[in-house]
A and B are shown apart, each in its own frame.
Chain A
Amino acid sequence: MTAVPGMTTADALTATYRGVQARRIAVLGAALATLVLSFLVDVATGPAMLSLGKVAGSVFGLTEDRTVDAIVWNIRLPVAVMAVLVGACLGLSGVIMQTILNNPLASSYTLGVSAGAGFGAGLVILFGSAIPLPEAYAIPLNAFLFAALACAGVYSIGRTRGATPEMLVLAGIAMLFLFQAGLALLQFIASPEALQSIVFWLFGSLQKATWPKAVIIAAVLLAMVPVLMHDLWRLTALKLGDERATGLGIAVGPLRLRAFVVISVLTGVAVAFVGTIGFIGLVAPHVARIFLGEDQRALLPGAALFGALTLSLASVASKTLLPGAIFPIGIVTALIGVPFFIWLIARSRRAYW
């Protein structure tokens, strides 16, 4: 900030602040525009090789072609919508986890929540469902329950020593190994068919996307917004450490618990329907932080947008890498995302951790 004659400090500060805000809105706007573009490309690509015109005609209801409509409305749109919603859930839960644990390595994947979901899914695949539900919902339901269980496990173990970030991270690592061991055991005793189902589930796939599933995820995501809006500044303050946050009048324990519930619901519902897509919860928050800073008013929507964008782009890539085949999305996300991520954090100059 430079002093301009006739300008008070308050004026200069306001100008600086407005400038930062304007830049953040521009970044969010650019991410949103890219997401819309990626979404359209996602809908336009697929093994059926439909022309852009036909797809657009079907989407906007301009043409009547049963086959095209069936492909676009029953397969491609649900997949593209799910990619956006699941990516947003994973990006959002990842960034909240990194904030409340003050740890750049935190994500639903590294702290055992995804492993819990995988174990829950594996149980149903192997032993069937205890309640009469079609498999398309029994697996996600159990995956969700075990993701929540993993979260509850992390929190209750962490709480024994005052729920400090270090203790919660250690508890999360313990959960990761526990559920991975459980999953390995399931795979060990599984029949070849069941084993294949489990492995495929773990890869993560958008191909089982349906409208009702998309609606469930969207509803959960929307329900979390008011909860998070309430705590935006408090979460930002938590980055300055527990003691300073407490001194600012924040009840740190209840804030962490609230955030944990949000994380568990978001991750649970996202992972339940598409399997373990690990990378997004880790990378989207970092990308958002590099471009937007730590002010959660910008960081939370940013992480959600970058998460959605990453999974949407991965969805496109999974269909285009090998013509006629669809790669498991979890693998594509990591293969393409990791080099980009490394490049980004290596050239970043801001001190985050």
Chain B
Amino acid sequence: MRIEIDALSVRYRSHLALDTVSLSAHPGEVLGVIGPNGSGKSTLLKAIAGVAAASGSIRFDGMSKRPAVIGYMPQGIEAKAALSVLEVVLLGRLGRLGLRVSRTDLEAASTILDEIGIAALAGRDIGALSGGQRQLVFLAQALAASPSILILDEPLSALDIRHQLEISALVRRLTAERALTTLIVLHDLPCAARLADRIAILREGRLVAVGTVADVLTAANVRAAFDVEASIGQDETGLPVVQSLRLS
């Protein structure tokens, strides 16, 4: 589903968290959103997911109506509730759950738990898991209703490097296979370079740059957004590789 954002602004009381941002995201594409702390990355995702009230326009395949199902994974990974992993994942299918949980719901949950590799955790309490495991569970929840839009706010932040690679590959594969429109906030520039097709850079609520990874992930843009000197090379396929970072 194509997402077109025009002059989107979000105001938290007196603070303008997002300032007339315009960009678009397309099916089958991972759009990475990067920027310093407080630059409006999460706010942008919340506005698209319908969690934060915004002014300006967001269109989904040309319509202003938000689709009923959006796979949205907020940043936080704390969960204090006597709910099992399976129950948390089933809640991702909230709109379809009846008083009795159907075999279809259980099959959908088991498919996604398998794909993320956490089927063994299904019966465990969400509160008893490690932060990284909970992050995987919430990713499963976001995917459980087979959304056409996937919005992930720092989905890799609590994961070990192996899981970072696995989940990056999974998100890329699902985005391509199911033609998902995926928006993903990342802090780690090398991760963003690997995972995203296009990148949007925000600073102080404003869009600094948006485009393909090769076009946007440049030393100049990194300096403009973060005040950090980056040395960026290219891998054998021509994609940018972040080689070193230092304070300017």
Chain A interface (Cβ within 8 Å of chain B)?
Answer: 1, 8-10, 12-14, 16-17, 20, 229, 232-234, 236-237, 239-241, 243-244, 246-250, 289-290, 293-295, 297, 350-353
Contact = CB atoms under 8 A, between A and B. Distances in A.
Contacts, number: 110
A14 to B, nearest CB: 5
Contacts of A246: 50-51
B83 A239 contact: yes
B106 A240 contact: no
B103 to A, nearest CB: 7
B80 A17 contact: no
Interface stretch (B111-119, B193-201, B207-215, B225-233): B111-119
A16 B83 CA distance: 14
Contact of B74 (A8, A12, A244, A249): A244
Given A1-B119, A236-B87, A243-B74, A9 B113 contact: yes
B94 interface: yes
List 9 A-B pairs, minimum CB-CB distance, nearest first.
A351-B127, A247-B72, A239-B81, A10-B110, A294-B82, A13-B110, A9-B110, A293-B82, A10-B107
Contacts of A240: 79, 81, 83, 88, 91
A297 B80 CA distance: 19
Contacts of B51: 243, 246-247
A16 B76 contact: no
A10 B111 CA distance: 7
Nearest to A348: B82
Contact of B80 (A12, A13, A247, A353): A353
A103 B49 CA distance: 27
25 contacts: A1-B120, A8-B110, A9-B114, A10-B111, A13-B109, A13-B122, A233-B97, A236-B91, A241-B79, A243-B46, A243-B51, A244-B138, A246-B51, A247-B49, A247-B50, A248-B94, A249-B94, A249-B95, A294-B87, A295-B83, A297-B99, A350-B127, A351-B80, A351-B128, A352-B81
Nearest to A349: B128
B99 A293 contact: no
A241 B113 CA distance: 22
B69 interface: yes
B123 interface: yes
Contacts of B80: 351-353
Contacts of A229: 99
B125 interface: yes
B101 interface: yes
Given A20-B123, A240-B81, 20 more contacts: A8-B110, A9-B113, A10-B107, A12-B122, A13-B122, A14-B106, A14-B110, A232-B99, A233-B94, A234-B94, A243-B51, A243-B74, A246-B51, A247-B51, A248-B92, A249-B95, A295-B87, A351-B80, A351-B127, A353-B80
Contacts of B76: 241, 243-244
B82 to A, nearest CB: 4
Interface residues of B, number: 43
Contact of A16 (B70, B88, B103, B122): B122
A352 B122 contact: no
Contacts of B10: none
B86 interface: yes
Contacts of A234: 94
Per DSSP, chain A at the interface is: helix
A249 to B, nearest CB: 6
Nearest to A293: B82
Given A1-B119, A233-B91, A249-B94, A20 B84 contact: yes
Nearest to B49: A247
Nearest to A232: B99
B94 A14 contact: no
A249 B68 contact: yes
B79 to A, nearest CB: 6
Nearest to A247: B72
B46 to A, nearest CB: 8
B119 A247 contact: no
A229 B99 CA distance: 8
B125 to A, nearest CB: 6
B86 A248 contact: no
Most chain B beta carbons < 10 A, residue from A243, A250, A297? A243
A241 B88 CA distance: 12
A16 B86 contact: yes
A203 B70 CA distance: 51
A237 B92 CA distance: 9
Contacts of A10: 103, 106-107, 110-111
A247 B84 CA distance: 20
Given A17-B106, A243-B74, A293 B84 contact: yes
Contacts of A350: 82, 125, 127-128
A18 to B, nearest CB: 9
A316 B244 CA distance: 75
Contacts of A250: 94
Given A1-B120, A232-B99, A289 B82 contact: yes
B72 to A, nearest CB: 4
Contacts of A13: 86, 106, 109-110, 113, 119, 122
Contacts of B74: 241, 243-244, 247
